[in-house]
Amino acid sequence: MNQIIPTPSLKRLPMYYRELIRAIDSGIRYMNSSQLGKVLGIPSTQVRKDLSYVADQGRPGVGYNTRSLADTLENFLGLPQPKNAVLAGVGNLANALILFPGFRHYGIHILYLFDNDPGKIGQELAGRPIYDIHDMAEIIHEQHIPIGIISTPSAAAQQVADTMIEGGVKSIWNFAPITVHATRNVFVLNQDLTVEMAILSFSTLHSDE
């Protein structure tokens, strides 16, 4: 349980967590690796291997206690710990992200919004004031904000990321369709929806083959 977890396994843990929460909400108290794998399309051997990095084995013939395993995963992923975030680039995507119900459940609180448009600065979105992007590094630094979310156009994204890093964020979630690079030890998650669009395009045209 003290080994370093491989990245592909780490990426599957949130899916197990999500399915366990759904199971708990349905009153299911035990699930084995086959049941957990089936809903996700992951082989049971892989499920057991992934979970072995963070939890004890389930009881033979009974499986994992859903509540106990969900708690273990929740703590391993740090979900109960509140993590504040800033968001730069206030448009429709920002609007959707701010109102996305998931954030709060995952401990991520978007506290400050930034933009460079004088028409937006000083306004509010979803109850949060919009600040001048020129003040972003200072606010991140003073408030010890660990997460930066980027929903600017791609031309601005790298510079915005650099400013967030200058302020001291520990991780960046970039939604601009460009690969943002980080200097220093900052985790960057590039979420380029246009890559998925292209895969969707290809798959739509080839699904009969």
The yes or no reply on residue 28 touching a copy of itself (CB under 8 A) is no
User: Do the Cβ atoms of 131 and 163 come closer than 8 Å?
Assistant: no
The yes or no reply on residue 178 touching a copy of itself (CB under 8 A) is yes
Stretch that binds a copy of itself, among 61-69, 90-98, 116-124, 159-167 (CB under 8 A): 90-98
Q: How far is CA 23 from the centre of its chain?
A: 21
From 1, 62, 111, 200, residue interacting with a copy of itself (rule: CB under 8 A): 200
Stretch that binds a copy of itself, among 45-53, 60-68, 117-125, 175-183 (CB under 8 A): 175-183
Helix axes 154-167, 136-143, angle to 10 degrees: 40
From 107, 128, 139, 156, residue interacting with a copy of itself (rule: CB under 8 A): 107
DSSP bridge partners of 189 = 173
Count of residues engaged in binding a copy of itself, rule: CB under 8 A = 64
To a copy of itself, the closest distance from the beta carbon of 67 in angstroms equals: 18
Stretch that binds a copy of itself, among 62-70, 114-122, 160-168, 196-204 (CB under 8 A): 196-204
Long-range interactions of 97-100: CB distance < 8 A, separation 24+:
97/149, 97/151, 97/175, 98/125, 98/126, 98/128, 99/126
To a copy of itself, the closest distance from the beta carbon of 138 in angstroms equals: 20
Q: Pairing mode, if any, of strands 30-31 and 64-65?
A: antiparallel
From 24, 28, 40, 139, residue interacting with a copy of itself (rule: CB under 8 A): 40
CA distance 64 to 107: 25
168, burial (CB in 10 Å: exposed 0-12, middle 13-18, buried 19+): middle
Residues that bind a copy of itself (CB under 8 A): 10-11, 13-15, 17-19, 22, 39-41, 76-79, 81, 83, 91-93, 95-97, 99-100, 102-103, 105-108, 146-147, 154, 170-171, 173, 177-179, 181, 185-187, 189, 191-208
